[in-house]
Amino acid sequence: MKILHTSDWHIGRNLNGRKRYDEHEAFLNWLAEKISSDGVDALLIAGDVFDNSTPSNKAQELYYRFLGKVAKTPCRHIVVTAGNHDSPSFLDAPKEILRFMDVHVIGAVSDNLEDEVLALKNSAGEVELIVCAIPYLRDRDIRTAEAGESIEDKDRKLVEGICNHYKTVYDIAKHTRDELGEKVPIVAMGHLFTVGGQTSDGVRELYVGSLAHVGADIFPEYIVDYLALGHLHVPQAVGKPGSLIRYSGSPVPLGFGEARHKKSVSLVEFSSTTTPVVTQITIPRFQELARIRGDWDKISDRVNKLKSLESNTWLEIVYEGDEVIGNLRERLDGIIEGTRLEVLKIENKQLLKSVTTRIHDTETLEDLNTYDVFIRCLDAQNVTEDQRVELIRTYKEAVNSLHDDDSNAE
């Protein structure tokens, strides 16, 4: 039996204002084709299908169109669990309809944890796979707040709640297999942060406190044959080398910090005589990203090389040279003009340094308002008094217009 494990699609995610729908559509088309060509029997999507709890119409269209495509392939089962970015109620809403397509959705924690154990059957009506489909566990799902409890008590209860939830679901799955009297594979799904996990700047809103340190020991391998995790965007095994506790990672780079990461999905193959074999299948890059850092010569040299390749890369520029360049954006626009390159983000560390050095010893950046920072910028660039009058007037008009827009929105 072949199982494909993926997670953290984050459909609807923006990158510095740029939509990523084309990339996600290309990935989903590739994935549907891969499922068909590799003869995948079951697809597991371990959370964060969408990037937020109110996905756009376009994001929903991509999701449901993909499910329709896979339903036409030999793939017999699809299991979807919610992540911390998903709305449990939104994912659950069409679950009864999707079940007719052999799509099983677990968006929210159930009052009856037996609902999180799925006994999936083949065409002959025989159970061929047991799935512990555990969604993202929210505070309210696993802990009862008490007056006067300390932060340490809260963190301890959260970890205990997660451990108890997983153990209960695992025990139900084991009992289900024991009743069958056959060695049916048990695969579990989860969406959480385990200790030692490798992160990237594409991951945000992570667990806080000791909840970020849930150990791999809460996943008993003697019960579960493979654990499909979501939440961390870097593909990795948890615990000892060769562990069958895996993060598949995100399918597209969700931030410039992931620009060099190889993205993949996990193909898990079961046989009757051996432990499952896991293969990482590399996902094509549908939109190149690059973070370029250094002085102006290094940055311009790298950009010119990309120009010569007629690249359409999206760029993040981190300027770290000694020379103060106040017109960095204009310089960059000049050298990429007429190309398919796009600069989505600029970080001018030298300009920031020149501004912050003009903060008095008794001040911090938090002590300054936006107008103070603007004046520091003028000082840093040695702007003359006659130029300042017009610049300050224009700046105030821009700020006032933003405040007016906010008032109208309310």
CATH number of 289-409: 3.30.160.720
Domain extents in the chain: 2-282, 289-409
As assigned by CATH, the class of the 2-282 domain is alpha beta
- Tell whether the torsion through CA atoms of 376, 381, 385 and 389 is positive or negative: negative
Per CATH, 2-282 and 289-409 having the same topology is answered no
| Cα–Cα distance list, 386 to 114, 304, 375, 380, 383 (Å) | 74, 38, 14, 16, 8
Closest CA to 3 of 181, 135, 184: 184
Convert the pLDDT of each residue in 276-285 to its tens digit. 999 999 999 9
Convert the pLDDT of each residue in 139-178 to its tens digit. 887 777 677 777 777 777 888 888 889 999 999 999 999 9
- The two tokens of residue 87 are 């709305």
CA distance 7 to 49: 7
The pLDDT assigned to 171 comes to 93
Which residues in 277-296 are b (16+ Cβ under 10 Å) and which e?
ebeeeebeebeebbbbeeeb
CA distance 139 to 228: 22
| % of the chain residues with pLDDT over 90 | 59
**What mean pLDDT is predicted for residues 29-38?**
97
**Higher pLDDT pick, 234 / 363:** 234
Q: How confident is the model at residue 396 (pLDDT cuts 50, 70, 90)?
A: confident
Averaged pLDDT score across all residues of the chain? 86
Does 205 score more than 50 pLDDT?
no
The pLDDT assigned to 121 comes to 93
- List alpha helices for 79-200, DSSP H: 88-92, 95-98, 139-142, 151-180
Does 296 score more than 70 pLDDT?
yes
Convert the pLDDT of each residue in 312-368 to its tens digit. 999 999 998 888 787 889 999 999 999 999 999 998 876 665 555 555 555 555 566
